[in-house]
Amino acid sequence: GALNHEGYIDVAKKLKDQFGFDKVAITLRESINANRNLWSAMLFDGKTETPVFSKKYDLNIVDRVGGGDSFGGGLIHALMSDFDDQKAIEFAVAASALKHSIEGDYNLVSEDEVLKLAGGDGSGRVQR
């Protein structure tokens, strides 16, 4: 079934209230089958109580290992680089989406490749 965005916003509010978080990030995985998932995320600003949702990627998964780490690392990088919340969640999800296409635990992509995908270039063409 479809994800209930309001439910995730409620969970983020409860986490903010209980723990005092400034931001809450939640990944949203929809399993089509073992090798195909829809992948997106939400970033909730605890100060303004404003959620932003990323675009959704249709993934053909090579390896899920490291996908969460890539999301977390991408989000930390984006927030420390002073990206606004929408750009930060797009960057984190794109980093993780790319990692799902790489075998092994290490995300072998550059910041530029993540920015291109997050910005809408999902062509798969070689960039030189």
Sequence-ordered alpha helix ranges (H) in the chain: 5-19, 67-80, 85-99, 111-118
Does residue 96 belong to any structural domain of this protein?
yes
Nearest CA to 40 out of 3, 1, 11 is that of 3
If one counts the domains in the chain, the total is 1
Does residue 82 belong to any structural domain of this protein?
yes
The span from the CA of 45 to the CA of 37, in Å, is 26
Query: pLDDT tens, position by position, for the chain (128 residues)?
Result: 678 999 999 999 999 999 999 999 999 999 999 899 999 999 999 999 999 999 999 999 898 888 899 999 999 999 999 999 999 999 999 999 999 999 988 889 999 999 999 998 776 554 54
Cβ atoms 30, 37 nearer than 8 A: yes
Does residue 123 belong to any structural domain of this protein?
no
Tell me whether residue 104 is exposed, middle or buried, using C-beta atoms within 10 angstroms of its C-beta: 0 to 12, 13 to 18, 19 or more. exposed
Does residue 125 belong to any structural domain of this protein?
no
- Residues present in the chain in total: 128
pLDDT (0 to 100) of residue 63: 87
Indicate which CATH number applies to the domain containing 106.
3.40.1190.20
Does residue 122 belong to any structural domain of this protein?
no
Strand, coil or helix: what is 17? helix
Domain that holds residue 30: 5-115
Cβ atoms 71, 93 nearer than 8 A: yes
pLDDT (0 to 100) of residue 1: 61
Does residue 46 belong to any structural domain of this protein?
yes
